[in-house]
Amino acid sequence: MKETILISCMLLAAPIAMAQDTFTPITISANTQSATPVATPTAEETIGNGNIQNAISQIENAQVDIRNQLLDLKTKFADVDAQYVSYKNERKALKKQVSITEKRLKSLDRAKEKMRKNVI
């Protein structure tokens, strides 16, 4: 199925490509040196090209600005991520200390209860 679609697209696109590549020979007589005037760019074309160049440079400047913003955001993200990891590790260590302290209190309470039972 893919092959038939590909072949049909190629067959449809071939005349279009050939239409753009047609060659028209120019006849030049030996008596004339230059019968056709030399085309010089007009002011509108120059202005248009300047506008295009200006637009391209603005796009490039925008890309540079966006890349700088991306670097700033990546830096901030890395800082926040490092803080998150450090807070997470600190929280984990504190949770472990809390559980160890609670176990100590429970063992002391058990020891105290055993002593009371032995006294009575």
pLDDT at 19 over 90: no
pLDDT value at position 62? 96
Structure tokens at 99: 């559980």
Q: Give the pLDDT band (50/70/90) at residue 41.
A: low
SS3 104: helix
What is the helix, strand, coil percentage profile of the chain, to 5? 80, 0, 20
pLDDT (mean) for 112-116: 92
pTM for the model stands at: 0.44
Q: How many CB atoms lie within 10 A of CB 43?
A: 7
